[in-house]
Amino acid sequence: MPIWRLFASAAVGSSIAAGFSIGTLLFAVRFLPGVRTPTFLPALHGHVQVFAFAVLMTIGVLYSFLPRLWGCPVPPAWRAWTAFALLFGGLLIVLVGVITAVRSLLAFGSVAEVTGAVFVVGEFASLLYRRGESRKGNDPALITALGSAALALPLAYSVSLLPTWQLSPAGVQASYVLAFYGVLVPVALAMSGRLFPLYFRTRLPARRSLALWIALEVVGLYVRLGGVAFAWNGGVRLGCALQATGILGAIVALRMLEPREKRAASARVLWRDPTAWLVHIAYLSLALCALALLRAVWPGWMPPQSLEWHLLGVGYVTCLIAGVGAHLLPGFARQRPRSQYASWVVLISLTGALVLRLWAVLARGSSVAVSGAAAGVLGLAAMVVFAWNAGLSSLRQLTK
């Protein structure tokens, strides 16, 4: 099995089996009289969606994309399988440790995850070193994003469980901040700069400018974390402002709002393409998240963390994976998506899931449970259809 398919199948399968399913359960149990929500469910939901779905999908795509970009051999299969076993196996052990409250399992699983993250960083550094030509695939935005991920990925796995080997709220929040803003957002911005001109006919971005905006966002990330660590509110506000500025600057640098290039060979009409709508919803969500961070510059107001996580998780990361992945993943297998109608179903389902989940964050009263549970069901349905459309659910394809 190609390594990208292994990571992608595990990522989407985890989101279906545990991510959106647990998210639905978190709200559905409110309809059951006398039943309390297990305290470990939010931690399970977040860890699966961030580290199993988003991070594993990103790593799997990079395992296939970077060797093609840089003209170097794909890493040996045993090394890729080792990385996967450490990351996914460690994650499963952590989840069991969370459910059973056994600290030794949490410790062992977290060590495996951190080891896997370091292993992956070493693999990508080796690919960069072995580029076919000294400047082949030279992209300052991608190099900047990978440099950020090299630091943030092991840290994100570490901080949620240190120093007490338990999922403390502060550690969990710090791990999400690192995973989103240190790994997922920088890599997604850089990959968008390379893939959007191909799939959505955007104009080529100024890669150096994009790299600078990504770097500014990453600097803001660590200023923000330093402010939290030392209880320095001014540092938190400054970091949020730098992050917001970097994100908004990067979106402008991607040139998504400029007229699209006209190509005689391209028959697709973008406004009739559901994947184009998905990526625009993704970047609208990222822009809204940046504006919320910018609002935090004023003392006394910070965006609700659940709002931030779901704008990033459902709005940006999931919609971007669904939009780009519908082209990219079948392309890795030299195939096409099975049905454009399926992509419309994914678009409608994910848009509904995003709107309902944000309503559950901002609203009050009985509608919260209804909208939250409905959002989980729609997200689950979107992932099932996406997996089928991208060929990840076919047993015959999985064995190839």
CA distance 73 to 321: 25
CA distance 157 to 136: 32
Give yes or no for residue 397 having a pLDDT over 60. Answer: no
pLDDT per position as a tens digit, 192-226: 999 999 889 899 998 999 999 999 999 999 999 99
Mean local confidence (pLDDT), 355-366: 92
Confidence grade of residue 366 (pLDDT, cut at 50, 70, 90): confident
Per DSSP, the three-state class of 175 is helix
Give yes or no for residue 262 having a pLDDT over 80. Answer: no
Check residue 129 and give its pLDDT.
Answer: 85
Check residue 163 and give its pLDDT.
Answer: 43
Cβ-based neighbour number of residue 237 at 10 Å: 20
Mean local confidence (pLDDT), 171-188: 94
CA distance 199 to 323: 10
pLDDT per position as a tens digit, 277-310: 999 999 999 999 999 999 888 777 777 889 999 9
Of 136 and 364, the one with more pLDDT: 364
Give yes or no for residue 134 having a pLDDT over 90. Answer: no
Check residue 160 and give its pLDDT.
Answer: 67
What percent of the chain has pLDDT above 70?
A: 92
Check residue 165 and give its pLDDT.
Answer: 45
* Long-range residue pairs from 344-347, CB within 8 A, at least 24 positions apart, any chain: 344/274, 345/381, 345/382, 345/385, 346/274, 346/278, 346/322, 346/382, 346/385, 346/386, 346/389, 347/274, 347/275, 347/277, 347/278, 347/281, 347/322
Give yes or no for residue 169 having a pLDDT over 80. Answer: no
Are 357 and 371 in contact by the 8 Å Cβ rule? The answer is: yes
Which range is least confidently modeled, 7-11, 335-339, 361-365, 396-400? 396-400
Check residue 394 and give its pLDDT.
Answer: 58
Mean local confidence (pLDDT), 268-274: 78
Mean local confidence (pLDDT), 114-128: 93
Confidence grade of residue 164 (pLDDT, cut at 50, 70, 90): very low
Mean local confidence (pLDDT), 215-244: 93
- The pTM of the full predicted model, rounded to 2 decimals, is 0.93
Give yes or no for residue 358 having a pLDDT over 50. Answer: yes
* Long-range residue pairs from 350-357, CB within 8 A, at least 24 positions apart, any chain: 350/278, 350/281, 350/314, 350/318, 350/319, 350/322, 350/378, 350/379, 350/382, 351/281, 352/378, 353/314, 353/378, 353/379, 353/382, 354/281, 354/285, 354/310, 354/314, 354/315, 354/319, 357/310, 357/314
Check residue 256 and give its pLDDT.
Answer: 87
What percent of the chain has pLDDT above 90?
A: 64
Mean local confidence (pLDDT), 19-27: 94
Confidence grade of residue 233 (pLDDT, cut at 50, 70, 90): confident
Maximum pairwise Cα distance, the chain? 65
Check residue 187 and give its pLDDT.
Answer: 98
Check residue 399 and give its pLDDT.
Answer: 47
| CA dihedral sign of residues 98, 58, 187, 250 | negative
Per DSSP, the three-state class of 298 is coil
Give yes or no for residue 398 having a pLDDT over 80. Answer: no
